[in-house]
A = this chain, B = another copy of it.
């Protein structure tokens, strides 16, 4: 498996992404390539660029064995994938605000005074925000990055399966996350398909969309 990404047609990537449950268990993904995929995925936007997404890449046989009983309806994906990426949304995302904005300044994307004005404007807003509103926001942002990660994986020649059916709190705890702080979003299994995914139907746009 080469980590060099060839030109990939956008629509082909989109259309060939399907949920895959059985992987070629001999295929591993290097940390370099996984890091590259996460870098590409995290180009996703987020509310005030706070990037509240956190990832645990579960790749060792020991960690997968730990995960297996906590995702027992999705055991094939855990056992045969190259890795399972557990996605979380961090309710304490403001802890990273100074670092993110300082990086933007150091890269020349933002003047220092704009950084200071923006932090002074946004941090009190976030501090005053009700927990449910914060939670909504990190769930949405983590959804954005999860989608982008699945597409990036496909562009790298891998297949994925987004998994919602697992013991969310227990998985958080098993991998050292605090479920009160780190909202469990989904597991994404990733690897090379051994069995193709099924086609699935979509509602007509007329059923989901109003025009005003």
Contacts and interface: CB of A to CB of B under 8 A. Distances in A.
A40 B14 contact: yes
Interface string A54-76: 11111110110000000000000
Interface in A182-212: 183, 185-186, 198-203, 205, 207-212
Count copies of this chain in the complex. 2
B208 A100 contact: no
Most B Cβ at <10 Å: residue of A54, A62, A139:
A139
A170 B203 CA distance: 27
Interface string A1-41: 00001011111011101010000000000010001001110
21 contacts: A7-B9, A7-B11, A14-B152, A15-B43, A35-B205, A35-B209, A49-B200, A51-B208, A53-B208, A57-B211, A60-B212, A62-B212, A100-B201, A103-B201, A107-B201, A109-B198, A109-B199, A140-B186, A142-B143, A143-B143, A148-B151
